[in-house]
Amino acid sequence: MSDETPVALRGITKRYGDLKANDSVDLDLRKGEVHALLGENGAGKTTLMNVLSGVLAPDEGEILIGGEAVTLRSPKHALTLGIGVVHQHPRLVEALTAAENLFIGWDVVPGLFRRRSALVERANELGKQYKLELDMEARGWQLSIADKQRLEILRTLTRGAKVLILDEPTSVLTPAETQGLFDLMHRHRDEGESVVFISHKLREALSIADRITVMRHGKNVKTLERSDADVDMITNLMIGGEVPTASRKKTKAGDTVMEVAGLTVQDDRGDDAVRDLSLTLAAGEIVGVAGVTGNGQRELTEALAGLRAPSAGRINVAGKVLAGRSCRAFVRAGVGFVPEDRLGTGLAGSETIWRNAIMRRYGADQLTRGPLLDQAASHEMARKVVAAVKLSADDLETPVRALSGGHAQRLLTGREMEVGSKVLILAFPTRGLDVSAAAYLRQTILNARDRGIAVLFVAEELDEILEMSDRVVVMYEGLINAEFEGEVDREAVGRAMGGVDRSARGGARTEAQA
């Protein structure tokens, strides 16, 4: 078989119950190319790569390596055949050092017993060799996300990966780190090997790839050369039609509803995640918080919702002092919160829809009769919540985990809009949702804002933030280091996200791509 095609997938099908996550997918990789695999959330990219890397067994189809059909028994087996994956969230053992992580399952320092330092020495050697250097003696939890990723790439390369698969690697990187990653990908390609770059970020794929494959609904829609591709065509292939653009009324922001001053919040380790942060939210405006994940957004939203007590600072809503008070107090003050962790924190997965719908208000007088739950009133409230977000109220007894991601998020948002009569805080609300679910959610949020609710919207997709927000603030290392209003300069925001400069306002707004 041709040397040009080291890896090929033929007719790969993978089912989960009735759903076809991959539907007869064919894919060829060439030597010496960067191949971008594009698609929206749920298109089947990660499943396909799990099949290719030996994590999952396909229900149908075959994998050809060097022209021969193989059955991949495990990720390790796949690695011995030259296929290595670096996952979106780097998989490191937090409690062990970087050097130890590098050598798990790999007998690289000979001899039964060895000095601890031997491991570190060898790790440093390898780091130099592949130009992926980092502090090998740091423990996993001490490393930055970018370093974790580099360690994982190093681990994959040193075990002989020829086909390097990177799953959504840039979602956790600053612009500067992303460039470093791209340089690495080019180096690997220039040595004659292949890189598969999985993403839903169109622009990045176009800037780095030699060939592009677009997936939608589990199928390979098209594979084309970079030179044949442009933004509109790819967008069309990815979502198969018109993008529903959100409609927004032109409104003027009202009075200040939420005042935050000098807020300092610790993370789970006790370090300051939010430092002396100040912010205001006005009625009927959406304030978008941009920033690379891990700069304190989660701790900020948890503090503003009452889930995490700040160590210093003020949080006032409509005059009421809330900082340090219970979650209940925040709910009573009209602060709704859609947390990042949907099914773990926001919703109780094994519980029914109606019991989730009343969760934030469960002890209230109108829902109880003495120590007992008022079933009728609770069901009534649940019906209202469900109707408000256009979910069918057929079976309120369904457990929430049986709902699709989009529906679960709708339920959660609907409930929090009922709670959040004054303020609504959303943390990464469209993450992991498919296009139509995400679009519906965005419209729902805009409707809330049109009704006069103050919205704080934290997201990682810059495009989304720019589309949705009236004002944009950028979080970097626990502080707000930039604020933008009106026409927003994308480049300026990107720089602020990377901590490069603290810029002011202005700049022409670039066309946002949905």
Partner 1 sequence: MRDGLVSASIATAIMAATPVLIAATGELLAEIVGIYNIGIEGAMLIGALGAFIGVQQTDAVVLGMLAGMIAGALASLIFALAVVVFKADVVVGGLALVFLGFGLTGLIGKDYVQETASATIPHWDIPLLSDIPFFGEAFFEQMSISYFAFLFPVGAMILLYRTQHGLNMRAIGEDPGAADATGLSVNGWRIFYVSVGGAFAGLGGASLTLGIVGTWLPNVTAGQGWIALAVVIFASWRPLPLIAGALLFGGLGTFGNVAQVEGWSITPEFFSALPYIGTLLMVYLLALLRIQRGGGAPWPAALGLPFFRGTD
Partner 2 sequence: MIDALRTLPAWRIERRAKPGGGVRYRVGSVAIGVVLSTAFALLVSDADPSQFFEGLWNSTFGQPAGFEYMLTLTASLLLVGLAAAIPLKLGLWNIGGDGQLFLGAWGAFAMGELFPDMSSSLLIPLMFVAAAVCAAAWSIVPAIARVYLNVNEIISTLMFNFIAASWVIYWAGSKWGEQASAGSVKSESVPEQTILESIPVGDYLIPISFVFAVIFGGLVWLFLRRSVFGYEMSIIGSSPKAATYAGMPTKRIMLIVFALGGVAAGLAGVTEMLTNVQRYGPALSNNTGYTGVVVAVLAGGFGPQLLVMALVFAIISIAGNVLTITGAPSELVFAMYGLTLICAAIGQGLRHVRIVNPGRAERAAALPSVAGAAK
Beta carbons of 180 and 16 less than 8 angstroms apart? no
Which is nearer to partner 2, 367 or 388 (by Cβ)? 367
With both helix axes pointing from N to C terminus, report the angle between 375-388 and 405-419 in degrees, rounded to the nearest 10: 110
Residue with tokens 């004002």: 471
Q: Is 23 in the site for partner 1 (CB under 8 A)?
A: no
Binder among 55, 64, 261, 359 for partner 1 (CB under 8 A) = 55
Min dist CB 393 to partner 1, Å, is 32
Could you tell which of partner 2, partner 1, none binds residue 355, using a CB distance below 5 to 8 A set by kind?
partner 2
Beta carbons of 80 and 160 less than 8 angstroms apart? yes
Which residues, 6 or more positions from 27, have their beta carbon under 8 angstroms from its beta carbon?
A: 8, 9, 12, 37, 48, 213, 220, 223
β strands within 101-238, DSSP E: 163-167, 194-199, 211-216, 219-225
Beta carbons of 93 and 140 less than 8 angstroms apart? yes
Min dist CB 50 to partner 2, Å, is 12
Binder among 4, 91, 341, 436 for partner 1 (CB under 8 A) = 91
Binder among 67, 240, 262, 363 for partner 2 (CB under 8 A) = 363
Binder among 16, 17, 18, 113 for partner 1 (CB under 8 A) = 113
d(CA 306, CA 334): 12
Which is nearer to partner 1, 56 or 393 (by Cβ)? 56
d(CA 151, CA 179): 17
Among residues 413, 396, 392, which one has the least CA distance to residue 347? 413
- Helix (H, G, I), strand (E, B), or coil: what is residue 364? coil
Q: Is 135 in the site for partner 2 (CB under 8 A)?
A: no
Could you tell which of partner 2, partner 1, none binds residue 128, using a CB distance below 5 to 8 A set by kind?
none
Min dist CB 105 to partner 1, Å, is 3
Q: Which of residues 119-178 bind partner 1 (CB under 8 A)?
A: 141, 155, 159
| Whole-Å CA distances, 228 to 40, 116, 202 | 21, 53, 14
Q: Is 243 in the site for partner 1 (CB under 8 A)?
A: no
Min dist CB 76 to partner 1, Å, is 3
Binder among 26, 267, 460, 467 for partner 2 (CB under 8 A) = 26
- HEC string of 225-264 equals EHHHCCHHHHHHHHHCCCCCCCCCCCCCCCCEEEEEEEEE
Binder among 3, 16, 18, 105 for partner 1 (CB under 8 A) = 105
Tokens of 264: 């300092």
Residues in the chain, total: 514
Which residues, 6 or more positions from 250, have their beta carbon under 8 angstroms from its beta carbon?
A: none
| Whole-Å CA distances, 18 to 15, 21, 22, 23 | 7, 9, 12, 12
Which is nearer to partner 1, 112 or 372 (by Cβ)? 112
Segment contacting partner 1 by CB under 8 A, of 73-81, 191-199, 379-387, 404-412: 73-81
Q: Which of residues 309-328 bind partner 2 (CB under 8 A)?
A: 326-328
Q: Is 107 in the site for partner 1 (CB under 8 A)?
A: yes
Q: Is 15 in the site for partner 1 (CB under 8 A)?
A: no
Q: Is 498 in the site for partner 2 (CB under 8 A)?
A: no
Could you tell which of partner 1, partner 2, none binds residue 155, using a CB distance below 5 to 8 A set by kind?
partner 1
Which residues, 6 or more positions from 174, have their beta carbon under 8 angstroms from its beta carbon?
A: 146, 292, 497, 498, 499
Q: Which of residues 382-411 bind partner 2 (CB under 8 A)?
A: 402
Q: Is 355 in the site for partner 2 (CB under 8 A)?
A: yes
| Whole-Å CA distances, 295 to 325, 432, 479, 498 | 24, 20, 8, 10
Binders of partner 2: how many residues, by CB under 8 A? 49
Binder among 104, 231, 309, 387 for partner 1 (CB under 8 A) = 104
Q: Which residues pair with 314 in a beta bridge?
A: 261
Could you tell which of partner 2, partner 1, none binds residue 2, using a CB distance below 5 to 8 A set by kind?
none
Which is nearer to partner 2, 59 or 489 (by Cβ)? 59
Min dist CB 106 to partner 1, Å, is 7
Q: Is 100 in the site for partner 1 (CB under 8 A)?
A: yes
Q: Which of residues 35-94 bind partner 2 (CB under 8 A)?
A: 56-62, 69, 71, 73-74
Q: Is 96 in the site for partner 1 (CB under 8 A)?
A: yes
Min dist CB 233 to partner 2, Å, is 16
Residue with tokens 């250097």: 133
Q: Looking at 339-450, list the stretches that DSSP marks H as alpha helix, in order from N- to C-terminal side.
A: 353-357, 375-388, 405-419, 435-450
Residue 21 DSSP label: E
Binding residues for partner 2 (CB under 8 A): 8, 10-11, 16-17, 24, 26, 28, 56-62, 69, 71, 73-74, 220, 222-223, 307, 326-328, 331, 337, 339, 341, 344-351, 355, 359-360, 362-363, 368, 371-373, 375, 402
Binding residues for partner 1 (CB under 8 A): 50, 55-56, 74-77, 79, 87, 89, 91-96, 100-101, 103-107, 109, 112-114, 116, 141, 155, 159, 270
